Amino acid sequence: MSAFESPDFDHHETVAFFDDKASGLKCIIAIHSTALGAACGGTRVYPYANGDAALTDVLRLSRGMSYKNAIANLPLGGGKAVIIGDPAKDKTEARLLAYGRAVNALGGRYITAMDVGITPADMPVIARATKFAAGFDMPGKPAGDSGPPTALGTFVGLKAAIKHRLGADSAKGLTVAIQGLGKVGGTLAKQLHAEGAKLVVADVNADAARKAADAYGAKIVPVDEIVTTECDVFSPNALGAILNDKTVDKIHAKVVAGAANNQLARDEHGAALKARGILYAPDYVINGGGIIRVAGQIFEWSDAEVERRVLAIGDTLTQIFKRADQENKPTNVIADRIAEERMAAGGKSTAQAAE
């Protein structure tokens, strides 16, 4: 299957295939849009079953980054890279360097960061071969850890959602079910507990759940029950596609607001949530703190500027919620529309500047 024939091809500007015989590197870098700036997105290392599966993933992910960067008002376009291989055994220094050279060959049109299978220890190796890398700690650069800003953006986004749907100025007294207690979910639990929320938690790591129970008085439920547990707010911070045909009709929450990527199994599940009166905070909007941190490194913004932009996630969501009400559309549809409008306006500005 060629890129043009893929059902996920969305007029991507560039889809580049790299095959480095000496190192064994096989990777695809997809640039979806540079209307707002250089394409930026993480690198994923995964043992794809075949090249078609890798192509499908990189096309979807790169398009998603265009929308995420646009909705966060960042001067960045959308791109993504996938390296075909098992990160546990195929991620050699030679391949990482070859990958860095592949990024460099695009001349700055794509800036890479971390995703599944790439660790903070890998990024300096990649950066030896290209300067177009960000999202990790570098001497003389702003901090690269995306966890804290992602958690902060999710917290203010959740509060914007409960304000709009429940009329509450804080989470005090509300029951929030948190799925996933990693860097983001764990920090979110701490923030919500401090505000007086009642927590219900679930994590595949039993120790993480027990720590939340001990520290915050959280109730632990099995992982397969957290989505449908009795609560005011459901906050998915682990698996994707958690909002699907099996779960949407059984959700008790009035608000869904969490940092997990690709929460809707399909776009129409956003409409299904709306039909049930459940307010959904679009995932790529509420979890934008991480890419804002990466942008802060690229453009050397101060910590105060990064925080200002992260806190603005709440205002962005409020605008989406209000417009969704006015137009009687699902929130995910409105978020996509706003992102598309910004990319179109950016593309026009770029074209006019070139004339």
Asked if residues 327 and 285 have their Cβ atoms less than 8 Å apart, the reply is: no
Nearest to 216 by CA among 187, 182, 238, 237: 187
Domain membership flag for residue 69: no
89 is catalytic: no
Q: Is residue 348 part of a domain?
A: no
**Quick one: 198 and 310 in the same domain?**
yes
Residues 119 and 175 in one domain: no
pLDDT digits 0-9 by tens, 87-114: 999 999 999 999 999 999 999 999 999 9
What's this model's pTM, rounded to 2 decimal places? 0.91
One domain, residues 182 and 276: yes
Whether 351 maps to a domain, the answer reads no
**Structural domain contains residue 35:** yes
DSSP string across 217-251: -PEE--GGGGGGSS-SEEEE-S-SS-BSTTTGGG-
Same domain, 326 and 206: yes
Q: For the domain that residue 45 is a member of, what is the CATH number?
A: 3.40.50.10860
**334 and 207 in a common domain:** yes
Q: Are residues 184 and 91 in the same domain?
A: no
Q: Pick the catalytic residue: 26, 68, 80, 159?
A: 80
- Is the same domain home to 175 and 100? no
Q: Could you tell me how far CA 178 lies from the centroid of its own chain?
A: 17
Shared domain check, 120 and 177: no
Residues 6+ positions from 143 with CB-CB distance below 8 Å: 137, 293, 297, 303
Note the pLDDT of residue 240. 82
* 248 & 105 share domain: no
pLDDT digits (tens, 9 = 90+) for 124-175: 999 999 999 999 988 777 767 788 999 999 999 999 999 999 999 999 999 9
Domain that holds residue 297: 147-340
Q: What separation, in Å, do the N-terminal and C-terminal C-alpha atoms of the chain show?
A: 37
The reply to whether 137 falls in a domain is no
Does residue 67 lie within any of the structural domains? no
For residue 216, give the CATH number of its domain. Answer: 3.40.50.720
Both 36 and 83 in one domain: the answer is yes
| Res 238 pLDDT > 80 | yes
Dist. CA 83–CA 25, nearest whole Å? 7
Residues 118 and 185 placed together within one structural domain of the fold: no
Cβ neighbors of 301 (< 8 A, separation 6 or more) are: 142, 295, 309
- Sign of the four-CA dihedral 155, 39, 10, 323: positive
The yes-or-no verdict on residue 352 having pLDDT over 50 is no
Q: Give the whole-number percent of the chain exceeding pLDDT 90.
A: 88
Number of domains in the chain: 2
Is residue 279 domain-shared with residue 312, that is, in the same domain? yes
- The pLDDT-based confidence of 73 (bands split at 50, 70, 90) is very high
**pLDDT higher than threshold 80 for residue 330:** yes
pLDDT tens-digit map of 257-281: 999 988 999 999 999 999 999 999 9
Chain segment 32-61, per-residue pLDDT in tens: 999 999 999 999 999 999 999 999 999 999
| Residue 71 counted as domain residue | no
Residue 68 forms part of a structural domain: no
CB atoms inside a 10 Å sphere around CB 199: 26
